[in-house]
Structure 1
Amino acid sequence: MASRRAARKANPDARMALRDHLVELRKRITRAAIGIIVGAVAGWFLYTPVYEAVQAPVLELAARDDALVTVNFGGLASALDMQLKVAVILGIIISSPWWLYQLWAFVAPGMRQVERRYTIGFMAAAVPLFFVGISVAWFVLPQAVTILVGFTPEGAANVLDAQMYLTFAMRLLLAFGLAFVFPVLMVALTWARVVPARVWARGWRWAILIIALAAAMLTPTPDAITMLMLAAPMTVLYFVAIGVGYLRERQRARKKASEADEESEAGL
C-alpha cells in the first residue's frame, strides 16, 4: 500500500495525464450526444418517409408473391415508441459528420502538430464511407427480407412485428455504416504512427474473430445470412486498410532513405 502511494507521489504527471484524457473524453462524448439529439429532432420529422421506404420491401414482396406479409403495431404505444427509436437512429446517421469529428478530435491532441493535417483526410474518407455502408445496407435490406420471409410455410401468414422489423432495418443501416468507418480509423492511426501496419497484420486472426462477434451482435436477427453479409465486407476492408497502411509506411521509408542519401552526398 505504501509502495503504491509512493509511486503515485513519484509520478504525479501520469495521474494528471489520465485525468486530462478522461476530461477530454467526457467533453467529446457530451458534444457528440448534443449533435445526436439535434439530429434526432430532424429524424422525428423524417420518420414518415423513412418508415414508408423501409416498409416498401415488405409490401413489394407481398404483392409479388400474393401472400399475406405485413408490418403490424401490436401495442397501443408501440407506434410512438418506435418513432422515438427510429428518430434516435436517424439522429446518429444525420449527425455522423459531427460525432466522427469528435472521435477523431479525441485522438488528435496526442499527435504532433504536423499529424493533425490528417483530420481533413480522415473526415473526407470516413463520412463518405459511412454513407456508402448505409447504401450497401439499403441494398441488402430487401434481399434479407426476401430470404427470411421465404422460409414462411406455404399458406401461412407472416405478420411482422413493427418493433422488430424497424429495429432490424435501422440497426442494419447503422451496423454497415460503422463497419465501413473502422478501416478508415485503422489507416488514420497507421499514418499518424500510432499503430504500425504490422500490428494490425499480426492480429488478423483475432480481428476475424472480433469481426464475427461484432457482426453477430450488431445484426438484429440471429440468422447467419445477415451476419455474413456484414462480416464479409468488414473482413475485406480490414485487409485493405492493412495494405494501405503498408504502402504509406513504405513511402515514408523511401522518403527517409532518399533524404539520408541527399544529406550524405551534401556532406561529401
Structure 2
Amino acid sequence: MSVSGVFDYFSGRPRHPVGPDGRMALSDHARELRARLLRSAFALVLAFCLALFFYDDLLRLIEAPYKEALPRLQPGTKSEIVLNGVTAGLMLQLKLCGVAAIVVASPYWLYQIWAFIMPGLHPSEKKWTRTFVAIAGPLFLLGVATGYYVLPTGIAVLLQFAPDTATTLVEFTQYFSFITRMLLVFGIAFEIPLFVIMLNLAGVVSGRALGKYRPWIILGVFVFAAVATPSTDPFSMLMLGIPMLVLFLVAEVIARLVDRSRGRGRDSTAQWDDDEVSPL
C-alpha cells in the first residue's frame, strides 16, 4: 500500500459532500469509524511500548498494597506472593502493560469516540456532554485513588482468615486481577451519581423523587458497597459507601435546582397523585 493510501486509512476524510447539518453518507461514516479505530489502536500500541519501558515501576506500584498489608497482619500469619507456571511472568508483564496502556491512552481513545458521536448531537446536548466529560474523568480517577488507598486494609483483612499453621501463597496473576476489579469498582461507583444527574436532565428522574426515596437509596448504596467490594472488611465498604452517599446527596441537590429552573418543582406536580393519570 502506498503512503497516500495509508494516510487515507488514518484520515477518514469523507469522499461525498457533507450536508449543512453535518450529515454524511453511510460509506463516509464507516470510513471515519475505521480511521478512528485505527488511530486508537495505534495510540494503544505506543502506550503499550511505553509501559514496557516502565514495567519495573508499574510492578512496584502494584506490589505496594500487598507489601503495606504484611506489617498489619497478626503475629503468626504468613503469606508469600508467587508465580505459577513457566509463562506466568510473561503473561503478567503483558497484562500489566496492557492495562497501563488502556489507562494512559484513555484520553485519546475516549476523544475519538466522542468526536465520532458529537456531529449527531444537538447544540444543547453537546454543551451538557462536554460538561459531563469534564467531570467524569476526575470522578473516575478519584474513585480509583480511593480504592488504591483502601487496598492494603482489605488485603490484610482477607489474609487474616488463614490459620496460623498455614502459609498463604498469593498467586500474582490472581492478585493483579483482584486489584484491577477493586479499582474498577471504585472508579465506576463514583460515576453513578453523575448518571443520576444525566437522567434528571433528560426528565427521567426528578429531584423530588430522589428525596422521596432517599432512605431506600441510602440502604441501596451501602448494600451495593458491601457486595461490589471484593474484600469483606467493613472499612472498604465504608470507604466506598460514604463517598457514594455524599455524591448522591449532591446529585439530589443539583437535580432539585434543575427542576426548579425548568419549572418542574413541587408546585407543578403537587396537584397530581402518584397513581392518577395526567391529561398528557
Q: CA deviation at 1:133?
A: 0.9
Match of 2:64 in 1: 56
Stretch of structure 1 that moved more, 40-49 or 104-113: 104-113
Q: 1:154 aligns with which of 150, 164, 185?
A: 164
Residue 170 (structure 1) aligned to one of 177, 180, 194: 180
TM-score normalised over the length of structure 1: 0.66
Give deviations 1:17-72, integer Å, cap 9, x for gaps.
xx89x969966993666554544443333332122122123234435656532210
Larger proportion of helix: 1
Match of 1:259 in 2: none
- For the 8 Å contact 1:180–1:234, the answer to whether it is kept is yes
Post-superposition Cα deviations, 1:130-186, rounded to whole Å, max 9, x if no partner, equal 111111011111111111112122242111011111111122222222222343344
Aligned residue for 2:134, secondary structure, equals: helix
Q: Percent identity?
A: 28
| Number of positions where the alignment pairs a residue of Structure 1 with one of Structure 2 | 233
Query: Given the two structures, how large is their TM-score scaled by the length of structure 2?
Result: 0.63
Determine the structure 1 residue equivalent to 2:124: 114
How far 1:87 moved relative to its partner?
1.9
- The answer to whether the 8 A contact 2:80-2:168 is kept is yes
Distance across 1 between alignment mates of 2:205 and 2:217: 15
For residue 241 of structure 1, what is the aligned residue in structure 2?
Answer: 251
User: 2:161 is paired with a residue of what secondary structure?
Assistant: coil
Which runs of no fewer than 5 residues in structure 2 stay unpaired? 1-25, 265-280
State the 1:80 CA deviation: 1.1
Distance 1:234 1:105, change over 3 A: farther
Query: Does 1:43 find its partner at 2:51?
Result: yes
Alignment of 1:1-268 (within 5 A): 30=37, 35-63=43-71, 65=73, 67-101=77-111, 104=114, 108-188=118-198, 190-191=200-201, 194-198=202-206, 201=210, 216=227, 221=230, 223=232, 228=237, 232=241, 233-234=243-244, 237-253=247-263
